[in-house]
Amino acid sequence: MDIKSLIKQFLIWRYKHISQKNFVLFLSTFVGLLAGIAAVTLKNITYFIQNTLEKGIVFSQNQLYFILPIIGLLIVYLIKKYMFRKEMIPSVPPFIKRAVPSLLYSLLRQKGLLSYKLIYHPLILAPLTVGFGGSVGLLGPAITSGSAISSNLSRLLHIDKKTRTLLIACATAGAVASMFKSPIAAIVFAVEVFSLDLTFASLLPLLIASISSVLTSYFFLGDEVLFSFTLTDKFTLYDTAFYIILGLGTGIASIYFTKIYFAIYKFFDRFKTRFAKLLVGGLAIGVMLYFIPPLYGEGLSFTKDLFDGNHLHALGTNLFDDYLDNIWVVIVLLIGFTIFKAIAMTTTFAAGGIGGVIVPTMVMGSALGNVVAKIVNNIGFGHQVSESNFTLVGMAGLIAGVIHAPLTAIFLIAEITGGYELFLPLMITVAISYMITKNYMEHTIYTKELAERGDLLTHNKDQNVLTSMNIDSVIEKNFITLNPNMSLGDMLHKGVSKSNRNLFPVVNEDQVLVGIILLDDIRSIMFDQSLYESTSVETFMQMPPGYIDYEKDSMRIVMQKFQDTNAWNLPVIKNGKYFGFVSKSKLLTAYRRELINFT
């Protein structure tokens, strides 16, 4: 008996004995387990590569570590070119460059159907990028692999689109929970990033997937949290002003992070080939590593050193070793690290590396928080603050600003450090950082490119319905076209008598729409035969109340045009030529059908 027959028999048995609700709960458990295994595998492969390199197999004493990233990028380039010749997600437009935006696009435009190749691609390419020192994280690849597993499992079991979306969110939550051992933050991340409605139907599967995944991580990696954090200085009322300053700083840094991200990608888009990007990016990363060694890899050890109060070890050996007894030199170096971490991360991506954004954001935020604390403690205010507390809170502030996920930032940092007693300063800094960034930049590095093209799902259900609708599904083409020089008689015999519509587009020889004729406009004279040859179509035509641009207008704009013009039919123009009509009745029918699907 083949696999298809076994699956068919299983599905028949399932429909008879297991309700849809219980089946989804079972699948969420299984998806969480698989996503957790994918995340653990990703971690272990990466750490194996890092440990191998650190032991000096490639370079004795790691004296030439700064050229390792270009070697890693070259290996990734060769694997992509000769082993993975097809694109990871062939139908995803080239403007989508990261894992999470690809998933958001797939959920909207591809019914959440992901290529099975995405299961193993990230498990190979991301460890090579990070293990060889690429300044990126592992969360994005873990999410991609887990989501691909969930998508293909759903396809195998004939799961509908709505449930498939929920299971992909479960896989995402599972990846976050396993990677950081933070089940609560994992659920919040899935809700905030994937714009899910937080109902019991979605909350329980997300919760089960997170538990299943984090238990998997405990089984393979132990129960230690990502950072060992001990609260030695409690929050006091006098610290409030300084946490507000930290919030302002992380808000400004978040804007810088996003701006530099798109600016670097725009710069690398000038290069015609991927190999040219690799060479320029690899050399740039090598130069940055030579002057700022902590930029090497994810940077988690850098943050751990800051928590321990060991900034000298965090900064490593550099050209300014002789001046590190001056605290202001240390502050300047930490500021330099904060600035260049975003540059090194984006350069790694643009040069062809595979990785995630969250961990580099955390590391950058830890440096910024430590800087603020050091400045406060050394500027002469007469008030001392905890550097480890500010290091922790800075991480949350930058995450909230960069990905516009304030609740994720609070719970993630609290869970991975065990720093629940700092909830109030976390909330203060995160709220200010998020408010500043959100007011200045409506969209994040995850959503900006999607939003500009009308492909972004949000928590606005009405907007989601319009975004998910396809204009091709509401365009009608069964209109008989008329020529402006056609006589009234020809119009009646060749157009009106053969059409069941009361609207006729008038186009010239180049198929450019020059006007429309409504049946009501000619009803009073259509039987006056004396006018059949003496008058033409041009005499009776009028301009339409508006136009729909096929290439530019989203469904939200189309709906707005109907509201503004109060028209029942609007012509569609494609490449400057007449393409068809959209009727208000068909548009509203399609909207209602899609709304039912969403609810």
Model confidence at 386, pLDDT cuts 50, 70, 90, reads confident
- pTM higher than 0.85 for the full model? no
Nearest CA to 253 among 333, 320, 338?
A: 338
| Higher pLDDT among residues 567 and 434, named by residue | 434
Per-residue pLDDT for 65 more than 50?
Answer: yes
pLDDT digits (tens, 9 = 90+) for 517-541: 888 777 777 777 777 777 877 888 8
Tokens 């440990």, residue located? 51
Instruction: Confirm if 172 and 384 have CB atoms less than 8 A apart.
Output: no
Could you give the maximum distance between any two Cα atoms of the chain, in Å? Answer: 103
Provide the token pair at 256.
């810088």
Q: What percent of the chain has pLDDT over 90?
A: 22
Tokens 């959920």, residue located? 107
Provide the token pair at 538.
């041009």
Average pLDDT, the chain: 83
Model confidence at 34, pLDDT cuts 50, 70, 90, reads very high
Per-residue pLDDT for 57 more than 60?
Answer: no
Model confidence at 374, pLDDT cuts 50, 70, 90, reads very high
Q: Give the type of residue at 159.
A: I
Could you give the CA distance from residue 554 to residue 556 in angstroms, rounded to a whole number?
A: 5
Per-residue pLDDT for 516 more than 80?
Answer: yes
Could you give the CA distance from residue 303 to residue 364 in angstroms, rounded to a whole number?
A: 9
In terms of average pLDDT, the best of 98-112, 445-459, 562-576 is: 562-576
pLDDT digits (tens, 9 = 90+) for 132-156: 888 888 888 999 899 899 988 888 8
pLDDT digits (tens, 9 = 90+) for 227-276: 666 667 788 888 899 999 999 999 999 999 999 999 998 999 888 888 89
Domains of the chain: 3-221 (1.10.3080.10), 237-455 (1.10.3080.10), 463-598 (3.10.580.10)
Model confidence at 463, pLDDT cuts 50, 70, 90, reads low
**pLDDT at position 402, please?**
92
Q: At what angle do helices 139-156 and 99-109 cross, to 10 degrees?
A: 30
